[in-house]
């Protein structure tokens, strides 16, 4: 019994060793490996040449017989290879063996039929094909950058012979189609990520500038947390853009050994570490935001004395897991390859676990906040829009707490829709939080209006007629049995207007004590007529709201 490889048939034992040897030769280029194919009296072998600057080095002069039935020989050949590379090579050898069995089991073709004979071409198995037609196979998984959804093809000439490449003079199959589809999809993802990141940066940078420009904002603890949170998104977006165009795009468009991934430079590894850190930092700052809000509500809006613990968690926390991960990558030669982009199995959980714990903690915080909110709603059935406002609060806090990450926690294999969804969720979260907590925030609008008024020398809008005849502005501090005495650091002001339902129903202390003005009458407090005092430094306890003069 024999099996066909290229243009000749070989005995089965020889076929197995020959095809397995060429699997190695085709998968690892001469510039990268020290082994060369040689045909000796003992049969085909892989022989190590002189020492040199090879990625895969073997003892000079050593000879290896690529026989999968010899486990010790396979172990020696795979020693300088990574686990993934060894698996790809052995998979190619096993596929060739299956092709040999297929050739033997298929019925013999008719002699009257003009066709190209069944064969193994070095990567794939082609059956008998009619003259003048084209044979197609699914792209093998061991071809670099190949997509299993694409097909490779081999042309059968009208004279019943397989197509011969004019430059090499050997039979040739086209596997470039296996790569083109995946490269095209990857470039689509790169530009989709670029667009989402640019949108986020265009909103996050002005938002941070606004927070820092107004002293009345930047001295507030919640705003300081927002600035750190927004800054983590800015850093993550910039690093993601650099990574996509310096590393990923270069890998798709450059020859294998010339790409930054294959060269495995120190700068590429450092960029990968920054990518891991900035991505983890966004999760840690999400946790800090959720923990801060949850602490305020559970402790009846008791403001923390310091944010040092939050800074330690948000800045130092991601470095701990990232540094440990980087040390493992650098210390194990098997992992210190391809710019550290290869998966290192269980050690990947050094990065995944803290990120997932941050998300799960925020799910708990959100659930407890909603429980407290709904509990207060049951105590105040006269609020007609209470449940609608509770739903609004939920949607406002989802991007802040990162709950939208739920649908993409699990990553299915080779699915384009998942990658699109992941990129949109990951790279637009910064845009959403900046819109909700800065761009559309009423307090920010008040500061911007006052700033415009000072610059232009005129008010941005005409005051009401009733107030134009008085020399001072009168504000009322409304206190009812369901009111909440917010201080200026109140976190929920970020997501609701000054008459927010949260202010009307959240204060748990006010529900259990008699308010001297619980009958709903307003207690007036005269203030300076300068309107900036209202939008700037507010009273420590309570929001001030403008009221019409009687």
Q: What is the DSSP string of 466-480?
A: GGTT-SS-EEEE---
Mean pLDDT confidence for 252-279: 83
Give pLDDT tens digits for 181-214.
777 888 899 999 999 999 999 999 999 999 999 9
CB-based contacts of 223, cutoff 8 Å, min separation 6: 211, 217
Mean pLDDT confidence for 250-272: 79
Mean pLDDT confidence for 276-296: 92
- How many CB atoms neighbour CB 336 within 10 A? 16
Phi, psi of 161 (to 5 degrees): -125, 150
Q: Are 419 and 413 in contact (CB under 8 A)?
A: no
Give pLDDT tens digits for 389-406.
666 767 788 888 888 888
Q: In the structure, what pLDDT confidence band is assigned to residue 264 with cuts at 50, 70 and 90?
A: confident
Burial readout 176-207 (b: 16 or more C-beta within 10 A, e: otherwise): eebbebbbebbeebbeebbebbeebbebbeeb
Dist CA 96 CA 112 (whole Å): 28
CATH 4.10.1240.10 domain locations along the chain: 2-174
| pLDDT recorded at residue 500 | 40
| pLDDT recorded at residue 42 | 81
Q: Are 473 and 527 in contact (CB under 8 A)?
A: yes
Listed range (190-204, 270-284, 448-462) with the worst mean pLDDT: 448-462
pLDDT exceeds cutoff 70 at 544: no
Which has more pLDDT, 511 or 64? 64
Give pLDDT tens digits for 12-28.
999 999 999 999 998 88
Dist CA 283 CA 271 (whole Å): 19
Phi, psi of 109 (to 5 degrees): -70, 150
Listed range (339-343, 456-460, 489-493) with the worst mean pLDDT: 489-493
Phi, psi of 424 (to 5 degrees): -65, -45
Mean pLDDT confidence for 279-308: 87
Give pLDDT tens digits for 352-374.
999 999 999 999 998 888 888 77
pLDDT exceeds cutoff 50 at 495: no
Dist CA 238 CA 71 (whole Å): 48
138, β-bridge pairs: 151
Instruction: Kindly report the CATH class assigned to 2-174.
Output: few secondary structures
Q: Which of 4, 23, 19 is nearest to 143 (CA)?
A: 23
| pLDDT recorded at residue 357 | 93
Q: In the structure, what pLDDT confidence band is assigned to residue 144 with cuts at 50, 70 and 90?
A: confident
Q: In the structure, what pLDDT confidence band is assigned to residue 279 with cuts at 50, 70 and 90?
A: very high
Measured CA to CA in angstroms, residue 441 lies from 207, 282, 394, 446, 483 at distances of 11, 22, 17, 9, 21
Mean pLDDT confidence for 331-356: 85
| pLDDT recorded at residue 411 | 76
pLDDT exceeds cutoff 60 at 225: yes
CB-based contacts of 24, cutoff 8 Å, min separation 6: 33, 35, 46, 66, 77, 89
| pLDDT recorded at residue 388 | 64
Dist CA 316 CA 449 (whole Å): 38
Dist CA 295 CA 63 (whole Å): 68
Q: Which of 446, 538, 544, 437 is nearest to 495 (CA)?
A: 437
Which has more pLDDT, 116 or 49? 116
Dist CA 177 CA 87 (whole Å): 23
- How many CB atoms neighbour CB 36 within 10 A? 12
Dist CA 281 CA 303 (whole Å): 24
Most confident region among 57-66, 190-199, 244-253 by mean pLDDT:
190-199
Q: How close are the terminal C-alpha atoms of the chain, in Å?
A: 108
CB-based contacts of 257, cutoff 8 Å, min separation 6: 29, 31, 32, 263
| pLDDT recorded at residue 465 | 39
**Helix 221-243 vs helix 176-213: angle between axes, to the nearest 10 degrees?**
150
Query: Which one-letter DSSP state was computed for residue 41?
Result: T
Place of tokens 């050949």: 77
pLDDT exceeds cutoff 50 at 477: no
Q: Are 290 and 366 in contact (CB under 8 A)?
A: yes
Query: Which one-letter DSSP state was computed for residue 63?
Result: E
129, β-bridge pairs: 116
- How many CB atoms neighbour CB 79 within 10 A? 11
In a 13 Å sphere around the CA of 413, the CA atoms on its Cβ side amount to 4
Q: Are 282 and 313 in contact (CB under 8 A)?
A: no
Mean pLDDT confidence for 376-398: 67
Q: Which of 102, 79, 85, 73 is nearest to 15 (CA)?
A: 102
Phi, psi of 4 (to 5 degrees): -100, 130
Dist CA 288 CA 299 (whole Å): 16
Q: In what order do the strands lie in the sheet with 2-5?
A: 8-11, 2-5, 119-120, 125-126
| pLDDT recorded at residue 460 | 56
Mean pLDDT confidence for 58-64: 89
CATH 1.20.1070.10 domain locations along the chain: 178-441
Kindly state the tokens that stand for 89: 């090579």
Listed range (115-119, 147-151, 471-475, 489-493) with the worst mean pLDDT: 471-475
> What percentage of the chain exceeds 70 in pLDDT?
79
Instruction: Kindly report the CATH class assigned to 178-441.
Output: mainly alpha
User: How many helices (H) and strands (E) in the chain?
Assistant: 17, 14
Which has more pLDDT, 254 or 160? 160
The sign of the dihedral angle between the CA atoms of 339, 342, 346, 349 is: positive
Q: Are 74 and 16 in contact (CB under 8 A)?
A: no
Dist CA 545 CA 145 (whole Å): 62
Q: Which of 342, 390, 335 is nearest to 367 (CA)?
A: 390
Query: Which one-letter DSSP state was computed for residue 164?
Result: B
What is the overall mean pLDDT for the chain? 79
């Amino acid at each position: 019994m024999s099996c066909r490889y290229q243009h000749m048939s070989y005995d089965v034992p020889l076929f197995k060793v020959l095809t397995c040897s060429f699997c190695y030769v085709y998968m690892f280029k001469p510039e990268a490996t020290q082994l060369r194919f040689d045909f000796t009296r003992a049969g085909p072998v892989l022989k190590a040449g002189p020492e040199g600057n090879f990625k895969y080095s073997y003892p000079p002069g050593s000879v290896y017989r690529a026989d999968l039935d010899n486990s010790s020989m396979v172990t020696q050949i795979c020693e300088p290879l990574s686990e993934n590379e060894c698996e790809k090579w052995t998979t190619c050898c096993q596929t060739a063996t299956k092709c040999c069995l297929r050739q033997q089991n298929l019925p013999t073709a008719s002699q009257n039929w003009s066709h190209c004979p069944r064969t193994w071409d070095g990567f794939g198995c082609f059956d008998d094909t009619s003259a003048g037609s084209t044979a197609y196979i699914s792209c093998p998984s061991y071809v670099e950058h190949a997509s299993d959804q694409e097909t490779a093809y081999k042309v059968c000439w009208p004279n019943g012979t397989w197509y011969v490449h004019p430059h090499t003079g050997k039979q040739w199959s086209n596997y470039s189609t296996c790569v083109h589809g995946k490269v095209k999809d990857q470039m689509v993802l790169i530009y989709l990520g670029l667009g989402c990141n640019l949108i986020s940066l265009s909103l996050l940078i002005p938002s941070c500038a606004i927070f820092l420009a107004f002293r009345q904002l930047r001295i507030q603890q919640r705003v300081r947390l927002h600035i750190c949170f927004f800054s983590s998104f800015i850093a993550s977006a910039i690093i993601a853009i650099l990574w996509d165009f310096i590393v990923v795009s270069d890998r798709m468009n450059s020859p294998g050994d010339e790409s930054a991934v294959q060269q495995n430079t120190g700068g590429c590894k450092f960029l990968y570490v920054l990518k891991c850190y900035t991505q983890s930092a966004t999760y840690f700052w999400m946790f800090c935001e959720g923990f801060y809000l949850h602490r305020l509500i559970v402790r009846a809006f008791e403001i923390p004395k310091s944010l040092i613990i939050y800074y330690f968690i948000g800045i130092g926390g991601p470095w701990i897991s990232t540094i440990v991960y980087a040390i493992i990558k650098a210390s194990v030669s098997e992992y210190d390859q391809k710019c550290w982009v290869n998966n290192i199995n269980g050690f990947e959980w050094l990065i995944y676990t803290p990120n997932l714990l941050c998300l799960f903690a925020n799910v708990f915080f959100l659930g407890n906040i909603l429980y407290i909110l709904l509990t207060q709603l049951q105590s105040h059935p006269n609020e007609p829009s209470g449940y609608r406002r509770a739903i609004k609060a939920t949607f406002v806090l989802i991007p802040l707490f990162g709950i939208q990450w739920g649908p993409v926690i699990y990553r299915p294999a080779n699915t384009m829709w998942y990658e699109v969804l992941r990129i949109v969720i990951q790279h637009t979260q910064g845009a959403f939080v900046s819109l909700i907590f800065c761009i559309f925030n009423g307090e920010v609008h008040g500061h911007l209006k006052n700033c415009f008024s000072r610059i232009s020398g005129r008010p941005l809008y005409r005051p009401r007629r009733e107030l134009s005849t008085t020399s001072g502005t009168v504000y009322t501090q409304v206190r009812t049995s369901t009111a909440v005495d917010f201080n200026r650091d109140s976190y929920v002001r970020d997501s609701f207007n000054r008459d927010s339902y949260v202010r009307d129903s959240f204060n748990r202390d006010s529900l259990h004590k008699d308010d001297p003005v619980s009958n709903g009458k307003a207690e007036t407090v005269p203030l300076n007529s300068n309107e900036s005092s209202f939008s700037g430094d507010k009273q420590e306890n309570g929001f001030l709201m403008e009221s019409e003069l009687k």
